[in-house]
Amino acid sequence: MKEITYSPSYTIVITYECFNYCTYCNFRVNSKLDSWSRIRKINFLLEKIQNKSISEILILSGEIHPQSPVRKIWLQDIYHLCRLALSMNFLPHINVGLLTYTEMKILKTVSISMGLMIEQLTPILLNTVHYSAPSKIPYLRLQHLSWAGKLQVPFTTGVLLDIGEKEENSWDTFKEIALIHQKWNHIQEIILQPYSSNIRQKSNISISNQYQLVKLISKARNILPVSIKLQLPPNLIQDSNYLLRCLKAGIQDFGGISPKDEINPSYFHLSKEKLSKILKYGKWKLRVRLPIYPNYDKYLSQSLQTVVNFWQRNKRLD
């Protein structure tokens, strides 16, 4: 039986504040510093989810301007939250937007893996959906990806679909990601994320759009190195037959599955039992994984490897 993996996770949002104004965003809200997640408030929450087979703590944040007077505090919050998670034997995965090389080097010491969506590299989107999103300039996203490679950070990136790009723009984005990975060998997986409106549609996605996504998955698998896993958020695919076609085309992983999808809050994840039942029809088996793949353990410090080894030795991964 073929396997599809996922990481049982819980998401902590540092802040929903963001200096980008992407026209499609379901995440960003205006907020104040005093509404940011604080370490004291999170400690009790993490205690509640211990011993529930949740290995990954996804630390998520809107992007804080590089020159913001609160950026130092923001970075300290991320760092201390990672340390708290590690002290409780959780595995922190960081996705907080663009970081400087120095910031990434600091956070590498307290995180298992990191992520950043490339989205799309075509500059035409800077005149449309990214008109007021300074950090979405393509070379800045690629620079972040390259720095992660230089620092040997196990990394997740992704492509956002249906935001105004042409088909060939996605191919070009895959090729650029592949080139960086071939140099540094650090990209664990690429998320293929269809744009989903915050107002959940009652009708299923059109047959035409289904065909386009399946075609894109097959094309991505042909472009990208086999060492990079293809990931698709299953909650964004409402039709079970459509989901199975995506797996057949080359999807290998469902990513982190948590009680709430903070990026697409209107789209709820199915329970493990319901998802397994769907997969059974296509002769697929759902399997748990950690937020770091075994071949990237060597990129971690000895102290971080110790926490990973705890899960490998003492927790069931099936």
pLDDT one-digit tens code per residue, 73-109: 999 999 999 999 999 999 999 999 999 999 999 999 9
| Neighbouring C-beta atoms of residue 79, cutoff 10 Å | 19
Identify the pLDDT of residue 316: 52
Ordered by where they begin, the domains of the chain are: 2-302 (3.20.20.70)
Q: What is the DSSP string of 218-233?
A: HHHHHHS-TTSEEE--
Residues belonging to the binding site are: 18, 22, 25
Q: Which residues pair with 187 in a beta bridge?
A: 155
**Cα 253 to chain center, whole Å?**
12
Identify the pLDDT of residue 143: 98
Residues belonging to the binding site for [4Fe-4S] cluster are: 18, 22, 25
**For residues 146 and 153, is the Cβ–Cβ distance under 8 A?**
no
**Distance (Å, whole) CA 156 – CA 145:** 9
Identify the pLDDT of residue 23: 94
Identify the pLDDT of residue 203: 41
**Cα 224 to chain center, whole Å?**
18
Q: Which two tokens stand for residue 240?
A: 């079970």
Q: Can you list the residues of the chain whose pLDDT is less than 50?
A: 33-34, 201-204
**Distance (Å, whole) CA 275 – CA 165:** 31
Question: Following CA atoms 140, 145, 148, 153 in sequence, which dihedral angle do they give, to the nearest 10 degrees?
Answer: 150
Identify the pLDDT of residue 34: 47
Identify the pLDDT of residue 306: 95
Closest CA to 294 of 85, 113, 118: 113
**Distance (Å, whole) CA 119 – CA 165:** 10
**Distance (Å, whole) CA 203 – CA 209:** 13
Q: What φ, ψ does residue 150 adopt, rounded to 5°?
A: -60, -35
Closest CA to 2 of 294, 293, 283, 316: 283
Identify the pLDDT of residue 9: 96
pLDDT one-digit tens code per residue, 255-299: 999 989 999 998 999 988 999 999 998 899 999 999 999 999 999
Q: What φ, ψ does residue 167 adopt, rounded to 5°?
A: -55, -45
